[in-house]
Amino acid sequence: TGTVIPSDLYGFAERLTEAERSVLSTLREDLRTKVYPRVNDAWDRAELPDELVQAVRGLDLMDPRQLREAGEPIRDILTGFRNFELARCDINVGTLYNAQAGLFRTACTLGGSPEQAAELDPKIVTYELTGVFGLTEPDHGSDVAGGLATSATYDDATQEWVINGAKRWIGGATISDVVATFARDTADGQVKCFLVPREAEGVTMTIIPNKASLRIMQNAHIDYRDVRVPESARLQGINSFADVARCLRSMRSDVAWMAVGAQAGAYEAALKYVREREQFGRPIAGFQLIQEKLAVMLGNLTASLGMMVQLTEQQAQGIFKDENSALAKMYTSLRLRETVGLAREVCGGNGITLETDVARFHADAEAIYSYEGTHEINALIVGRAITGIGAFV
Ligand code: FAD
């Protein structure tokens, strides 16, 4: 399996079929040749160039040709390794892809009625319909479950929903057709979800400027003022926050896989650097203290990868537990933070320039650490499950 993933010491990728490996090696090559060359410049400028968006949308991933030809289904384990590979190239790229293929697609397939899912999914796979996930608000991040303040009121006269409020941090909103907007029904107080067109009257978006992390990915602040959408725009399967949580369980696994891929990207970039860099007349890779750091990084990666393979196989059997996804997101992000710190350290001064790649991973890891539930919130989900006592408030 060394050729599947160079740093997969224990051979977790052996669980993949030949066709799945072929999908991943095509992906890796496409990332290397079509995507990666655009990344550092875009990061430096804090821009999301259209060529990069098109290159990411052009990756044959949601319905890959190699699997179709082999007559194999798309298994969750491949989706996991796909997220790994994307973030191994770059966390922005993984996040951009996942806004459509993870967050938005999950909201529509898990949150839509069977008819809605059947209608929307083929369009999402081909990017005929693009969308993002609008849950977080300016005043409600961690406490969004109870605090969500965006409102949706049904207008009997016009048979439309009227949405008012604001969303914040919505990744990719300014380049997407619709925002899956979570709003509280003023009649029953429950959280519902509406596919709101980006260009609907009453929607205004501004890009959050001056980010020091995930600089390529554009995050929007969105205001909704008397925005009207028909009942057909409401995802019928989301009728309370418990339904949102069903989506989050799956999305947290996707992000955890990205945290592992980013560990691999940072570790491999650091390994390359220490082999090439010479001090005291020899490669610094030959020093004991450097090797200890490499071993810690590889240990983090191996433990995180094993955790994700096992969790994914469990979820593929239909076993979904909030605490299992929360623990995975919490743990892999924590290990990512340690790994990018060590990777940056072994690159010395050059580790803070974009040329060694680790500086980008180091900065972007901070976004992963906070989005899809912060470290603390995921820890509290686990804590509630193991003690039986909710400690959020
Ligand atoms: P806050 O909730 O204000 O938390 C601040 C700090 O307080 C954190 O450390 C938190 O852990 C801690 N804290 C809060 N409550 C407790 C408690 N009870 N006990 C202990 N500590 C606590 N959202 C979307 O809906 N869609 C997106 O596409 C999206 N993309 C994002 C992309 C980026 C780059 C970022 C940074 C965020 C994105 N988010 C998105 C939002 C993200 O999910 C939130 O940032 C996250 O949930 C945390 O909310 P907050 O930033 O408001 O922090």
Q: Tell me: the pLDDT tens digits for 25-78?
A: 999 999 999 999 999 999 999 999 999 999 999 998 999 999 999 999 999 999
ipTM: 0.99
**What residues does ligand 1 touch, defined as CB less than 6 Å away?**
132-136, 141-142, 169-171, 214, 219, 367, 370-374, 376-377, 392
Looking at ligand 1, which residue's alpha carbon is closest to its atom 26?
170
- The single-letter DSSP state of residue 74 is -
What is the spatial distance between Cα 390 and Cα 393, in angstroms, rounded to a whole number? Answer: 8
Q: What is residue 4's predicted lDDT score, i.e. its pLDDT?
A: 63
Phi, psi angles (nearest 5°) of residue 206: -130, 140
Intervals of the chain under pLDDT 50: 1-2
- Where are any strands of DSSP class E within the chain? 131-134, 151-155, 160-171, 178-185, 191-197, 203-207, 219-230, 278-279, 282-283
Question: In this predicted structure, what is the pLDDT of residue 229?
Answer: 98
pLDDT digits (tens, 9 = 90+) for 157-180: 999 999 999 999 999 999 999 999
Question: Percentage helix, strand, coil, to 5, in the chain?
Answer: 60, 15, 25
pLDDT of residue 1: 38
Ligand 1 centroid, distance to 59 Cα (angstroms): 30
> Contact at 8 Å (CB) between 310 and 234?
no
Question: In a 3-state reduction of DSSP, which class is residue 239?
Answer: coil
How much is the pTM? 0.97
Distance 284 CA to ligand 1 centre (A): 39
Q: Is 154 helix (H, G, I), strand (E, B) or coil?
A: strand
Tokens in use for 381? 């989900």
Compute the distance from residue 371 Cα to the ligand 1 centre, in Å: 6
How many secondary structure helices (H) and strands (E) does the chain include?
Answer: 14, 9
Q: How far is CA 383 from the centre of its chain?
A: 23
Opening angle at CA 333, ends 191 and 362, nearest 5: 120
Is the Cα torsion angle 118, 123, 125, 129 positive or negative in sign?
A: negative
Residue-level pLDDT at 393: 87
